[in-house]
Amino acid sequence: MSDPLVLIPARLAATRLPEKPLADIAGAPMIVHVWRRAIEAGIGPVVVCTDTPAIVQAVEAVGGLAVMTRPDHPSGSDRLAEALEVIDPEGRHDVVVNVQGDLPTIDPAAIAAAVVPLADPAVDIATLCAVITRPEERTEPSVVKLVGSEIAPGRLRALYFTRATAPYGDGPLLHHIGLYAYRRRALDRFVALPPSPLELREKLEQLRALEAGMRIDAVVVDDVPLGVDTPHDLERARAILAARRLN
């Protein structure tokens, strides 16, 4: 496995928090914080993929790399596929890590953990999950649950993803974290597939891969990173990063 390439898709078209990649957190745009966390993971080059010149400028201002992509991609995965043709047309990198651009507080160790399952050649895609600890999240549809079969301590083979409360019965539930590490050929295959029936029903893109017979393994990490979607989330991120600077 060659050194992974870390790609961060980012666009301004958010309805609940307009222009959120450029929102100031501790004196830097949010996208810069995400780029820094990805750099700190130390697993390979990091590139931001966007459709907005202002995001490119913000990343390049701190010495980072960013590329422009089309504005009409239906998903972040499609944006990554286009960016790869620009960044690495020769296919030197055979692993692509997709880090969402709204995770400014993510633990760099979690990013690094995502590539570990790909040491197994049978795995097409790797991702992350964490045990749900708040009772209300067990039934909250916005909290996506991963249903999987344990194959080693802290490692599962994903069987399904759902917004429902699953699996039934006693035991922990797992909160899926939307960070993915793809084999290059798996990403190419994935974006070429049409949306699948379960994907459309659950509104979960990763089900397209499972329905196509692709294998997804997950690593269990300690907690779920804060995704910034609202002004309240933004204030929480500011508080978390301010506290880290003081400690």
- The whole-angstrom separation of Cα 176 and Cα 169 is 19
Query: Is there a contact between 184 and 94 (Cβ–Cβ < 8 Å)?
Result: yes
More confident residue, 63 or 243: 63
Which is nearest to 20 in space by CA: 241, 236, 226, 234?
234
Q: Give the tens place of pLDDT for each residue, 146-172.
A: 999 999 999 999 999 999 999 999 999
3-state secondary structure of 186: helix
pLDDT confidence of residue 77 = 82
Query: Is there a contact between 8 and 69 (Cβ–Cβ < 8 Å)?
Result: no
Of 3.40.50.1980, 3.20.20.150, 3.90.550.10, 3.40.50.2300, the CATH number of 4-227 is 3.90.550.10
Cα 204 to Cα 126, 138, 140, 163, 181: the distances in Å are: 16, 17, 15, 9, 17
More confident residue, 92 or 212: 212
Domain boundary assignment for the chain:
4-227
Threshold 0.75, pTM exceeds:
yes
Which is nearest to 32 in space by CA: 62, 65, 10, 76?
62
3-state secondary structure of 178: strand
More confident residue, 16 or 87: 87
H/E stretch holding 239 reads helix 231-246
**Mode of pairing for the β-strands spanning 216-220 and 125-131:** parallel
- The whole-angstrom separation of Cα 25 and Cα 177 is 22
Question: Is the pLDDT reported for residue 247 higher than 70?
Answer: no
pLDDT confidence of residue 80 = 86
Q: Give the tens place of pLDDT for each residue, 104-125.
A: 999 999 999 999 999 999 999 9
Q: Give the tens place of pLDDT for each residue, 185-237.
A: 999 999 999 999 999 999 999 999 999 999 999 999 998 998 998 999 999 99
Is residue 71 very low, low, confident or very high in pLDDT (cuts 50, 70, 90)?
A: confident
- The whole-angstrom separation of Cα 223 and Cα 101 is 18
Question: Is the pLDDT reported for residue 95 higher than 80?
Answer: yes
What mean pLDDT, rounded, does the chain reach?
A: 93
**Mode of pairing for the β-strands spanning 24-25 and 28-29:** antiparallel
- The whole-angstrom separation of Cα 108 and Cα 113 is 9
Q: Residue 140: what are its φ and ψ, rounded to 5°? A: -80, 120
pLDDT confidence of residue 76 = 76
Is residue 91 very low, low, confident or very high in pLDDT (cuts 50, 70, 90)?
A: confident
Query: In the structure encoding, which two tokens stand for residue 167, read together?
Result: 């699996």
pLDDT confidence of residue 222 = 94
DSSP bridge partners of 28 = 25
> Residue 65, Cβ neighbours under 10 Å: how many?
14
Is residue 244 very low, low, confident or very high in pLDDT (cuts 50, 70, 90)?
A: confident
